[in-house]
Structure 1
Amino acid sequence: MDLPLEPDSATPLYRQLVQAIARDIRRGRLRPGDALPGTRTLAEELGITRKVVVTALDELVSQGWLISQPARGTFVSPALPAHAVADAEPRRAEVRQAPGVARPSVLTLNDGSPDARLAPLEALARAYRRALLRLSRKGLGYGDARGDGVLREVLSSFLNQARGLSSRPEQLIITRGSQMALLLAGKALVRPGELVAVESPGYTPAWDAFRFVGAELCPVPVDHEGLRIDALERVLARGRVRAVYTTPHHQYPTTVSLSAARRLALLALAAKHGFTIIEDDYDYEYYYASRPLLPMASTGELRSVVYIGSLSKLIAPGIRVGYLVANEQILERAVAARATVDRQGEPALERAVAELLEDGELQRHARKARRVYEGRRDHLVSRLRAHRHLREVLEFDVPSGGLALWLRAREGVDVEAWSRRAAGQGLLFTPGSAHGAERLARQGFRAGYAALEPRELDAAVTLLGKSA
């Protein structure tokens, strides 16, 4: 087949192939019923990978240009589509601005979101299309409240290999992001009025999830080694605690890691007092200096730990895929709660994510993102240290991983007033008081660097200095 492709074009190769085959069909060079060469043969003829060919043919089948017959091959459809979708290029809307009106420019030092501009969206879109085709009508009906079985199997294997868990697919539930997982954990573990100990300062959306199910919260302070075990022991001495919520990899918001000694002490306390540890491992993939400590869920066969994670931090915040790993008893209650509030997840998205995990696409993306985010962390650190005024009013430790710095203002600096002044100049950040009432929270704020390119970080530091 004579299908000219341009490897240097901005249009992806698979899209060029889709357009070229559709043009040949419309011009009559390929007629209804004609057989196409096999994918390997076509890839060799065109000098491209077989994966590109498969993706293009899947797209043409979904649009109605081709039909695929098992054990026979791929043929031009006898009933061609009415609209030439395959060859259409989207028109970019032209944004007009009123004369003399400046375009608003706002930078955000967020809480540590990844950069969606780096996400493997084209690979995800292709996998999503393939998932829709393979699942068909039957696979897109009502299904298991635990989520897609393929993703649970792939994810269980991934967690066991990469994070040392000993999980089985039946011990996982796929959720719409980690926030749903937190809510389900609370619903499965806590009765109204029971006590949940939480880190303070801490992740307040988790606090909201536990309050939603009727829990009473008890704040436990953190320091440079994470959750303070001595403070937790004093809480335990006053009465029964049903669960302890912690972010041990990079404590939210301070970014410190829970030390190995404290992890062991926390596990021992859980065994002694009968509470469950809710381990929120929201950014395990992002480590720079060395590999992180294995999760607490990697010990003890999930006897006293519920493990929560998210693929949204790995792909993009808008791709809502999280998970909860627990023993069968807890998982059964979580599944029942999920079936009540949401029934099930999105099969096509979950199957597409499973393909990206199984093919290693997400692992490759994680390696690339780690390099980029480490560079952005170092860039922000160097700019803060070089700024004459900011280095006098801010202190910080450089975290070994994660997506944000925890900046501590010196005594006498009103961080809330600072954030209001910064907002007036086009820089948004959340004062630490949003994470708790302690002085550690009030005098700090989280500066996410991952979602900003170096030039954007430069501008953010300039605005931070002007508004200080």
Structure 2
Amino acid sequence: MLPYKTLIQVDRNSSVSLHIQVCNIFISLITDGTLQPSDMLPSSRILADLIGIARNTVKLAYEELISQGWAESAERKGIFVLSKLPVRSKAFTSDAAAAKNDAATFDWKKDFGKILPNENLQQITLAIDDGFPDVRLAPVDVLMREYRSLSRRYHGKNFLKYGNAMGSENLRVALQSYLAHSRGLTTSLDNILVTKGSQMGIFLAAHLLLQPGDQIAVGVSNYGSADDTFRFAGASLLRIPVDDHGMNVDDLERRLKKNKIKAVYIIPHHHFPTTVTMSMERRMKLLNLAKEHRFAIIEDDYDFDFHYDNKPYVPLASIDHDHNVIYIGSISKTFAPALRIGFMVASQGFVESASTIRQLIDKQGDTLLEEAFAVLFTDGEMDRHFRKSLKIYKQRRNLFCDMIKANLKDKVDFKIPEGGLGVWVNFDKGINLSALSAKAAKNGLYIGDGSFYRNESFSPNALRMGFASLRENEMEQALAILTNSLP
């Protein structure tokens, strides 16, 4: 007989009843090959004595096994593993070990290049991130109040059913108005797709535009997750230099004489990671090139709302009369990163195709959350939030830059950004950023090591240092730790 006293261990503190625990253990013994079809199970009396539970509990476990089709009862003989079950070979490795052993499992696509996992900032107390909003400023209580209110109303129950993959109509109406008055971007509801953040917009655009072997033009310095998305779609990257005035469109024009591209990906406001803004002259020239060479422009305008020293340029999408621009924006970046709401604006046909792909991934968004955001837009709450946070973030930017100058002195070089939520800081070549990040972590501060900004053409000794999510006392504490962590 098998060593059931060792094999069957029950937890009397568990919320799962004892007879179900015993039943589940027997199922595991059958499925892993320890017990085979027609094997006899110990009598209820013997098993009860072995594992220290009541005989009636064992009987209930056996009845459950039989009802689920794992065992059968033979009159005056006992309980047996169901004879009709297929024979299972004994598993000699644990499930965890098997999961790590690729040879023991099925094949799947594993080559994702060097895509870095997200940092889990939810578990970190003090961090210099690369430019996230301060979630403490967001009117989350107002949003949740509207969420709860909608869920309780009779008509709100409809929002719990399947809806339009393009997103809440009320939110699209609100976005239509918001884009018109904030960016001069006039569009119709059929041109707007609500997404789960800007990253979903980039993914959808990439998989509609790009086939294996296609080329897409991107900056030498660029948002790494966008690069990864384009590669995952099968495209190769044509790197174009980026200077203080944004992507060098003259260089792009020269490259187009020898290279055919399907799209250009740009971040015209507060380029990631360097924070530079693309000049209007280059924007106009890029639009002309798109028309001439028939390529798409993916315009990632993730934090348009935060400009401190001057009015922002209008997006390319606002002055595109040839319908070549796919405009991608984010509410997550201006409200709270975990609340995944973004949008794509493009031609009606493109948006319809993107919503079809979205159905395959996600079916639809969180309609109640989208409806709650719609209320915040129409009630003016979002506008008040933008104005309030813009004032606070400008103060924090100025203070943070002053503190960097005072604390890091000749160790770094940077320019005060005109907008956005982070500062691009170049460190002295003698400073090892990986070592700096590790030492700061030991002292209680999270800060990146710069690896996310590097690619095959760009390897700066620099960090994008976010100021928006830090209060004054937190800035002082963070920069003190960082300073003490320098060699």
TM-score (norm 1): 0.74
Q: What does residue 177 of structure 1 align with?
A: 197
Separation in 2, partners of 1:301, 1:316: 33
2:444 equivalent to 1:444: no
Partner of 1:407, secondary structure, is: strand
Separation in 1, partners of 2:154, 2:203: 32
Alignment of 1:348-427 (within 5 A): 348-387=368-407, 390-427=408-445
2:287 and 2:320 in contact (8 A); partners too = no
Separation in 2, partners of 1:449, 1:233: 36
1:166 and 1:301 in contact (8 A); partners too = no
2:311 equivalent to 1:291: yes
Give the partner amino acid of 1:393.
K
Question: Which of 326, 333, 340 is residue 320 of structure 1 equivalent to?
Answer: 340
Alignment of 1:5-84 (within 5 A): none
**Residues 237 and 314 (structure 1 numbering): CA distance in 2 closer, same or farther, change over 3 Å?**
same
Partner of 2:327, secondary structure, is: strand
Partner of 2:241, secondary structure, is: strand
2:450 equivalent to 1:432: yes
2:226 equivalent to 1:206: yes
Partner of 1:364, secondary structure, is: helix
2:360 equivalent to 1:335: no
1:302 and 1:327 in contact (8 A); partners too = no
2:133 equivalent to 1:114: yes
Give the partner amino acid of 1:123.
V
CA offsets 1:241-272 (integer angstroms, 9 cap, x no match): 11111111100011111111111121111111
2:113 equivalent to 1:127: no
Question: Equivalent pairs: percent with the same residue?
Answer: 40
Separation in 2, partners of 1:221, 1:300: 23
**Residues 310 and 416 (structure 1 numbering): CA distance in 2 closer, same or farther, change over 3 Å?**
same
Instruction: Compare CA radii of gyration and give the structure with the larger one.
Output: 2
Alignment of 1:275-290 (within 5 A): 275-290=295-310
Partner of 2:480, secondary structure, is: helix
Separation in 2, partners of 1:181, 1:341: 12
CA offsets 1:59-85 (integer angstroms, 9 cap, x no match): xxxxxxxxxxxxxxxxxxxxxxxxxxx
CA offsets 1:258-312 (integer angstroms, 9 cap, x no match): 1111111211111111111100111011111121101000012461100000111
CA offsets 1:114-156 (integer angstroms, 9 cap, x no match): 0111110111011112322254433321111100111111111
Q: What does residue 54 of structure 1 align with?
A: none
Separation in 1, partners of 2:430, 2:347: 48
2:181 equivalent to 1:161: yes
Q: CA deviation at 1:439?
A: 8.0
**Residues 187 and 135 (structure 1 numbering): CA distance in 2 closer, same or farther, change over 3 Å?**
farther
Separation in 2, partners of 1:422, 1:236: 45
CA offsets 1:356-406 (integer angstroms, 9 cap, x no match): 00111001001110111111111111111122xx11110100011110000
Separation in 1, partners of 2:308, 2:323: 31
**Residues 124 and 142 (structure 1 numbering): CA distance in 2 closer, same or farther, change over 3 Å?**
same
Separation in 2, partners of 1:439, 1:138: 51
1:196 and 1:216 in contact (8 A); partners too = yes
Q: CA deviation at 1:238?
A: 2.5
Alignment of 1:182-197 (within 5 A): 182-197=202-217
Q: What does residue 293 of structure 2 align with?
A: 273
Q: What does residue 478 of structure 2 align with?
A: 460
Question: What root-mean-square deviation, in Å, do the aligned CA atoms of Structure 1 and Structure 2 show?
Answer: 1.8
Partner of 2:393, secondary structure, is: helix
Q: What does residue 218 of structure 1 align with?
A: 238
Q: What does residue 25 of structure 1 align with?
A: none
Separation in 2, partners of 1:200, 1:357: 37
1:427 and 1:463 in contact (8 A); partners too = yes
Partner of 1:145, secondary structure, is: coil
2:124 and 2:446 in contact (8 A); partners too = no
Separation in 2, partners of 1:254, 1:134: 49
Partner of 2:426, secondary structure, is: strand
**Residues 400 and 299 (structure 1 numbering): CA distance in 2 closer, same or farther, change over 3 Å?**
same
Q: CA deviation at 1:440?
A: 6.0
Partner of 1:442, secondary structure, is: coil
Structure 2: 5+ residue stretches without partners: 1-122
Separation in 1, partners of 2:226, 2:467: 23
TM-score (norm 2): 0.72
Aligned residues: 363
Partner of 2:265, secondary structure, is: strand
Partner of 2:166, secondary structure, is: coil
Partner of 1:207, secondary structure, is: helix
Q: CA deviation at 1:106?
A: 4.8
**Residues 364 and 261 (structure 1 numbering): CA distance in 2 closer, same or farther, change over 3 Å?**
same
Separation in 2, partners of 1:427, 1:438: 29
1:433 and 1:442 in contact (8 A); partners too = no
Q: CA deviation at 1:441?
A: 4.1
**Residues 163 and 114 (structure 1 numbering): CA distance in 2 closer, same or farther, change over 3 Å?**
same
Most deviating of 264-273 and 421-430: 421-430
Separation in 1, partners of 2:371, 2:299: 26
Partner of 1:298, secondary structure, is: helix
2:317 and 2:326 in contact (8 A); partners too = yes
2:291 and 2:322 in contact (8 A); partners too = no
1:249 and 1:281 in contact (8 A); partners too = yes
**Residues 321 and 302 (structure 1 numbering): CA distance in 2 closer, same or farther, change over 3 Å?**
farther
Give the partner amino acid of 2:138.
A
